[in-house]
Amino acid sequence: MVFTIRPAVREKIGLLFGIAGASGSGKTFSALTLAEGIKGQNGKIAVIDTEAGRALHYAPMPGAKADPASGTFDFMHLDFPPPFTPERYVEAIKAAEEAGATVIVIDSMSHEWDGEGGCSDMAEQAAIAAATDRNGVVQAWKVDAMTAPSWKKPKQLHKRMMAKLIQCRTHLIFCLRAQEKIKFEKVKDERTGRERNEIRQMGFMPVCEKSFMFELSGSMTMHPETPGEPRYDMQRKLNHDLQAIFPAGQKITVDTGERLRAWAETGADRPPADTDADATDDLIAAIQDAPTLEALQRITSSPKTKQWRKHLSENRPDLSDRVDASVNAALEIFEREDEGAAA
């Protein structure tokens, strides 16, 4: 692989911004207010709604015009029922982009991790399946033992989703639920010298994969006592520039969104999307997901795959090597499984 070194130049970015909060903290209204400022004069807002149409509360009445000052917004609505798998989130975002959205609000992103069919649900179901004997009886003792390995696939799917989101050209705003968390800590009693358990309040924490909020361009948490305001005493990721855009104690406004867009779109144009790399990622994902050797062979022997691998071999050897490596890795896994079964 040849490395290229060039002078660093700031580039425009597609925003990935997170707003977490408990019920009543104003996260959906704040997300739509931000989106109104981000979209500008000619942009379009889309809302991916996992909350059974709750976002429609912010749509104008039939025949009426949207008025952000009064709490209504002009947006396209995508109803998103379960299962809330990472792949379906990517599909929903693509559908919103194809409909012309320039800024997308995802409400709520928490379902990807903790909703029906989300990552936690997938891991739990995989653990139960692995702990079920041939007679269909679940061995309770084995469920706990299978919990850790059952997270491998959900984490892989979440990682793939994040890779897609980071490459997205559209501005994305994620709403996330937050829950009050506590932590049990062992504390030494100064009087007796003995250890005792003590409950420590952790405050409101976003319901999501533990590093999700910190992988975004920026994120914040809101509190029901101060709806619509970023809280600096709660989990957040706001660099110096973003702190100036989101001052503590001030509600989010349309002007806030305009300033956020200006921050994101300051710099050189981003390089065009690498469509070859995107298509190759999809092929590699299919190879990695092949449940059997026969399924893998169907993928690799299809005319479409053969034609694509030929194209990569002639034009993109870097991507061709990645496909070859993924096929070899999948074959090795099936060979080890066969050896284990034979033993």
pLDDT in tens, 94-151: 999 999 999 999 999 999 999 999 999 999 999 998 888 888 888 888 888 888 889 9
State how far the Cα of 148 lies from the Cα of 152, in Å rounded to an integer.
Answer: 8
Residue 281 makes CB contacts below 8 A (sequence gap 6+) with: 160, 163, 164
For residue 28, which of 58, 53, 50 has the smallest C-alpha distance? 58
Residues 286 and 304: beta-carbon distance below 8 Å = no
Structure tokens at 143: 């469920």
Query: Would you tell me how many other CB atoms lie within 10 Å of the CB of residue 255?
Result: 11
pLDDT tens, 38-50? 998 899 999 999 9
For residue 260, which of 244, 274, 275, 271 has the smallest C-alpha distance? 244
- Map residue 204 onto helix, strand or coil: strand
Residue 282: C-alpha distances to residues 48, 159, 160, 285 (Å): 23, 13, 10, 5
Structure tokens at 136: 């269909």
State how far the Cα of 41 lies from the Cα of 21, in Å rounded to an integer.
Answer: 29
Please count the residues of the chain.
Answer: 343
How does pLDDT run along the chain (343 residues), one tens digit per residue? 578 898 988 889 999 999 999 999 999 999 999 999 999 889 999 999 999 999 999 999 999 999 998 999 999 999 999 999 999 999 999 999 999 999 999 999 999 999 999 999 999 999 998 888 888 888 888 888 888 889 999 999 999 999 999 989 899 999 999 998 767 677 777 777 777 777 666 678 999 999 999 999 999 999 999 999 999 999 999 999 999 999 998 999 999 999 999 999 999 888 888 899 989 999 999 999 999 999 999 999 999 999 999 999 999 999 999 999 999 999 998 888 777 666 5
State how far the Cα of 223 lies from the Cα of 242, in Å rounded to an integer.
Answer: 19
pLDDT tens, 7-23? 988 889 999 999 999 99
